Amino acid sequence: MPERCAVIGVGQTHHKAKRDDVSIAGLVREAAKMALADADLTWADIDAVVIGKAPDMFEGNMMPEIYLAPALGAVGKPMIRVHTAGSVGGSTALVAAHLVKSGIHKRVLTVAYEKQSDSDAMWALSVPQPFAAPLLAGAGGYFAPHIRAYMRRSGAPEHIGRMVAVKDRLNAMRNPYAHLHLPDIDMKMVEDSMMLWEPLRYLESCPSSDGAAAMVLAAEDAISGQYPPAWIHGTAMRSEPTMFAGRDQVNPQAGRDCSADVYAQAGITNPREQIDVAEIYVPFSWYEPMWLENLGFCELGDGWKLTESGATAFDGDIPWNTSGGVLSSNPIGASGMLRFLEVAMQVRGQAGEHQIDGARLALGQAYGGGSQFFAMWVVGSDKP
């Protein structure tokens, strides 16, 4: 049997378009120090460090764990660098969780980051490769056709995407660490913003952020910290190929399998009923209704109706992305970990203005690549 594992400390930076006050090392250290303080620990208490980020070509720093080791107190310790595309922040937390669940370590620091102002993601994603179609339009250009396919399949009306864009930005107003604080956000403002990749408008897309996230994970006999632990009830990863005939990119099998796995571990048979709050990787507005269906919160084709009904709003019965989500802060490599971190904060009762009262069981999800890599965890305030 795996050991029990819990989140005992969380930390994140103030995410911004440009954090030109810190180096990359300064950025990750800021989040890590906050997580250590939250856990009432010092660097010396940490057994191992697991770090993740999106492609190295973003910042132009190859295998950056080599450079970041001293800044993260990893000298003399094991250090692992995870890279699983956009899901990496989630996968990184899962690798750290396994170091504890396996009984190998007692306390593991896990960190994820991106310093997009030091980088050019659009360029890095669009480098021509032999025998491969270039992705000249970045991630939005890749996902827009799948969104159109979803709209056609489900018959969802156009305003659904705008509703998500507004809802997540309103949530971000409650989160002091969020990159975007748009107090005047409303449907009209989203509708008036520039069309980027039809049907996605500027305000239906994630920002480009500098930021880092960090967590301390601990074994049952090493619990400490300012808040109660967030116990890990389930962890799962799934991958499927980028492309082949018959692959459903709107509702990927890997996402469905991953959620089935993590729900089974956590004893969840009715996600909408049992999950109190969820942080789901929604970099483009329409991914909320798409993932509502993929994650089994409703029947196929009904995701948009849930969004439209207000069920996923802050005061709805299944609040999604209480932090403001990827739509409000997107330090790419850290975006997955921020989802995992937010749900840990919720079940620990430390989310402040964005706290959902009585949150006891929560789902964090991250995805990456061409909707082909998935990482999920379920955390709860009760010991599993």
Residue 291, both tokens: 């993932």
Does position 245 interact with other proteins (CB under 8 A)? The reply is no
Q: Which is nearer to other proteins, 69 or 173 (CB)?
A: 69
| Distances from the Cα of 182 to the Cα of 173, 179, 247, 280, 374, angstroms | 7, 10, 38, 21, 30
Determine, following the binding rule CB under 8 A, whether residue 250 of this chain makes contact with other proteins.
no
30 scored as a contact of other proteins (CB under 8 A): no
Select 248 or 302, whichever has its Cβ closest to other proteins.
Answer: 248
- Tell me which stretch binds other proteins (CB under 8 A): 136-144, 250-258, 286-294, 354-362: 250-258
Peptide bond into 78 cis (omega under 30): no
Q: Which one among 28, 125, 278, 362 touches other proteins, defined by CB under 8 A?
A: 125
* Cα angle for residues 257, 258, 263 (degrees, 5° grid): 100
- Which of 227/377 has CB closer to other proteins? 377
* Residue 251 found at the interface with other proteins (CB under 8 A): no
Minimum distance of other proteins from residue 249's CB (angstroms): 13
Residues in contact with other proteins, counted by CB under 8 A, come to a total of 72
* Among positions 84, 116, 323, 346, the unique one binding other proteins when judged by CB under 8 A: 84
Give dist(CA 69, CA 141) in Å, integer.
35
Among residues 42 and 123, whose Cβ is nearest to other proteins? 123
212 is a contact residue toward other proteins (CB under 8 A): no
Task: Residue 371: count other Cβ atoms within 10 Å of its Cβ.
Answer: 26
Q: Whole-number minimum distance, CB 127 to other proteins, in Å?
A: 5
Work out whether 220 is an interface residue with other proteins (CB under 8 A). Answer: no
Fill in the amino acid letter for 292. Answer: L
SS3 102: coil
Q: How far is the CB of 89 from other proteins (least distance, A)?
A: 13
Q: How far apart are the first and last CA of the chain?
A: 12
Instruction: List CB contacts of 262: < 8 A, sequence separation 6 or more.
Output: 234, 235, 236, 268, 363, 376, 377, 378
Site for other proteins in 131-170 (CB under 8 A): 131-132
- 54 vs 341, which CB is nearer to other proteins? 54
> Using the 8-state DSSP alphabet, how is residue 204 labeled?
G
Interface with other proteins includes 195 (CB under 8 A)? no
Q: Determine the residue type at 374.
A: F
CA 148 to chain centre: 23
In the numeric block, the tokens 């994970």 are attached to 217
The smaller minimum CB distance to other proteins, of residues 8 and 82, is found at: 82
In the set 190, 254, 266, 298, which binds other proteins (CB under 8 A)?
254
